[in-house]
Amino acid sequence: MVNIENLFNNAFRAIKTEPKILLPLVLNWIPAAVISTALSFMASDFINKYSLDKLISAARKDGLGLIVQLLQENIYLIALVVFAASTSIFISSFVNAVYPTLSYQIYYRKKILISEAVSIAKKRYLKVLWTNIVLSTLSISAILGIIVIGAVLFAVLAIAGGIIGILVDSLILLIVGLLFIVLIIYITLMQVILEPIVVIENIYGLSAIGKSYSLLKGKFFEVLIFIILLIIANSLYFWMASQIAGILVFVLGAYTTIIEMILMLLPSAFILLSYGLLYLEIAPASISLSDSPGPLNHPQEQNNTSLPQPEQPK
């Protein structure tokens, strides 16, 4: 049985006692800052060159030519935005690959070492990226498959017509809709523990996806409740953060943005740590954080006792 309350408490306590855990997330600001700066230059240049009347007039004369002209004039900034967006994917994969190791350290009451987490992330982040691509491809294929099959059955029965045809079509739509919802939920739950599997067990691609699927067997509703509670907690936090930012803007003005960015680090770290801790709760075996994957005896299985809780900060 997953102790969700204890899991959340451990994640929160770790952030409270070891705020350095937030530091890796700052890397996500780099591509965001580049994109923001490039878009700002583009908007400024656009506003200086074109008034609304001039823009409308140019669009009416040659709309396609105007688009081509704008692209040519901002080609370097556009290229910069594309590059930063692409870089953001790699940086995000790297950052996400850091936190399972931190969760591992928290779970087994080891010393929090960001250097160790970063070192392992360097070796795993491409595997994390590739596994996410594989899962996304499989997910999209499955979703499209359900939609196509439902559409074909609906079209065939619609031709038949009649009351029976209408009832069957309605039933098909209901079944397809339910399958679609269940598939989305299951993919989401698999995604939650997928990155910790890749980083901690050093397996990736279909092997990691298969492991994620097998771990969810018998734990589906527990993990679903975990996700629902996490969404609720996250929503409450964002509401509180927005209220705080709304008050601070009258005092700090533009500097409130810095406070908002710092506040946004907290839920991100909490979520990523919780994912890793959840995986360690439901995994039947632990994997050594080394380059050679292989199952080891889980500490809880060695002595059949519950895992000791992290010490309370003095």
Query: Would you give per-residue pLDDT tens digits along the chain (314 residues)?
Result: 778 888 888 899 999 888 889 888 888 887 777 777 777 776 776 666 666 666 666 666 766 776 777 777 777 777 777 777 777 888 888 999 999 999 999 988 888 889 999 999 999 989 999 999 999 899 989 888 888 887 777 777 666 655 555 676 677 778 888 888 888 998 999 989 999 999 998 889 999 999 999 888 888 888 999 999 989 988 888 888 777 777 776 776 666 677 777 778 888 899 999 999 999 888 865 556 654 343 333 444 333 333 344 444 44
Q: What is the pLDDT of residues 235-265, one digit of tens each?
A: 888 888 777 777 776 776 666 677 777 778 8
39 contacts: CB under 8 Å, gap ≥ 6: 77, 81
186 contacts: CB under 8 Å, gap ≥ 6: 216, 220
62 is a domain residue: yes
313 is a domain residue: no
Range of the structural domain that residue 61 is part of: 4-303
244 is a domain residue: yes
58 is a domain residue: yes
Residue carrying the six token digits 């964002």: 238
236 is a domain residue: yes
312 is a domain residue: no
d(CA 151, CA 13): 50
Where do the DSSP E strands lie in 83-238? none
- Contact 135/190 with Cβ under 8 angstroms? yes
60 is a domain residue: yes
Number of domains making up the chain = 1
311 is a domain residue: no
Quick one: which H or E segment has residue 162?
Answer: helix 162-201
Which residues is 287 bridged to in the sheet? 295
Taking the CA atoms of the chain, what radius of gyration do you get in angstroms? 25
Which residues is 64 bridged to in the sheet? none
Q: pTM (2 decimals)?
A: 0.74
Quick one: which H or E segment has residue 37?
Answer: helix 29-49
- Contact 156/227 with Cβ under 8 angstroms? no
Helices (H) and strands (E) in the chain, counts: 10, 2
pLDDT at 259: 75
